[in-house]
Structure 1
Amino acid sequence: MTGDFAGKAGWAGQAVADPSPAALLRRHWQSLRGDGGAPPQRERIVPRQLAPMLEHSLLVERAAGGAVLIRHAGLMVCAVHGLDLAGRPLSVLFEAGARLRMLEAVEAVLDGLQTVEMALHSERGMARPPLRARLTLLPLAGRTAADAAAIGCLDLEGPPVLPPRRFRIERVLGEPLAPRGDGRGAGASGAGPVLIWSRP
């Protein structure tokens, strides 16, 4: 995916020196990882430490019935839908045909198996320009498997004009985490991001 995902600062097309919100979030997530590179504990995430990317951030967790719920959504994430997204399923941000693939990717993150980055596209409509975005999701460990969550960031390549906007998935990249018990804990596999799926 081309283009700079720098949030509001990049909407006017001016040069943006600061890293994207997703890059800032990933750097913070890496700094909190435990021994052996295990995913950070959920309670170690402190909102004030996310200030530079808070408007673009979201926290998701499993719910009964296999749904993935949004527990926190920053202002720019909510602006895409036009409503407060806290307590709503993550699927509301996606077209119906993309929801199963989204759930498959998110489940792998919630299981602590990988990080995920999705390239997204919202179609042009009447008086509505096309909108591209990048959704990054990073695993968080809980006290139990049921407490596992993922912290994420939605980088937008423009303003979300005339919400609600819903996205199709153009590409899914995953970066595997090393399995527990291999002597390295649950750290990065070293393989780097791999293509999981791409629209034909």
Structure 2
Amino acid sequence: MASGRTGQQGMRGDASHGAPSALLRRHWQGLRRGPALPRRDQITPRALAAMLDHALMVERRPDGAVLLRYAGMAVNAVHGQDLTGRPLSALFETGARADLLAALEPAFAGQRALSMALHSERGLTRPPLTARLMLLPLAGCGSEGITLIGSLDLDGPALLPPRRFRIERVLGETLDLPAGEAARAPPVEGGPPPVLVWSRG
């Protein structure tokens, strides 16, 4: 099972090949055909077994609520309880939640993959905690909308939960291709380089 430690390289947005987010990204990218998003029913727990503890799946309800449909054990450990069915914002400081929802808009439109650098403050008896949250859009089945599948890579143990994060930086990768290129574009390992969407500094 992957440990979840990403180190400084991962926090710069270039996760090491063994990080949970890198395993998820390779699987997601391998399911793509040209610009088409993978379908949610193509994602199986068996294919993601090596990083399933760090995985999460996020849906937006018709009323606008953004909920966790699934949260792995490492994600739950950050909060100290099962987060399945809870708002994704439960992982974030109150002041970060408006920025979170704004960043999610293009992802739920299927236009952007996201990588967020996160930080949880030091407490009286607990060290600071940094993390990287990757979110990738999945096409729905039938009339269902886009779902996001993600990975929370932690740069250390989540001591004394609940830990809540602020967003330090958001990187976005545009998933659209120009008309005429989409049909003949093969699946690729990486894709276009990410661009800075938002930064605290």
Q: Which residue of 1 aligns with 2:193?
A: 192
Q: Which residue of 2 aligns with 1:178?
A: 176
- Identity fraction in percent: 58
Q: Which residue of 2 aligns with 1:14?
A: none
**Contact 1:78–1:84 (8 Å) recurs in 2:** yes
Question: Secondary structure of 2:107's partner?
Answer: helix
Matched, 1:7 2:4: yes
Question: Secondary structure of 2:149's partner?
Answer: strand
**TM-score, normalized by length of structure 1?**
0.86
Superposed counterparts of 1:59-98, under 5 Å: 59-98=57-96
Q: Which residue of 1 aligns with 2:47?
A: 49
- The CA distance in 2 between the partners of 1:155 and 1:116, in whole Å, is 14
**Contact 1:95–1:168 (8 Å) recurs in 2:** yes
Matched, 1:29 2:33: no
Q: Mark the runs of 5 or more structure 2 residues left unpaired by the alignment.
A: 8-15
Runs of 4+ residues over 4 Å off in structure 1 = 179-182, 185-190
Q: Which residue of 2 aligns with 1:132?
A: 130
Question: Secondary structure of 1:173's partner?
Answer: strand
- Post-superposition Cα deviations, 1:43-65, rounded to whole Å, max 9, x if no partner, equal 10001110011000000010132
- The CA distance in 2 between the partners of 1:54 and 1:8, in whole Å, is 14
Pair 1:191–1:8, CA change in 2 (3 A): closer
- Post-superposition Cα deviations, 1:51-104, rounded to whole Å, max 9, x if no partner, equal 011000000010132121000100000000001010000000000111111111
Q: Which residue of 2 aligns with 1:166?
A: 164
**TM-score, normalized by length of structure 2?**
0.86
- Post-superposition Cα deviations, 1:145-192, rounded to whole Å, max 9, x if no partner, equal 643101000000000001000000000000001157453159889541
Q: Per residue, is there more helix in 1 or in 2? A: 1
Q: Mark the runs of 5 or more structure 1 residues left unpaired by the alignment.
A: 11-16
**Contact 2:41–2:141 (8 Å) recurs in 1:** no
Give the number of equivalent residue pairs. Answer: 189
RMSD of the TM alignment (CA)? Answer: 2.4
- The CA distance in 1 between the partners of 2:137 and 2:84, in whole Å, is 19
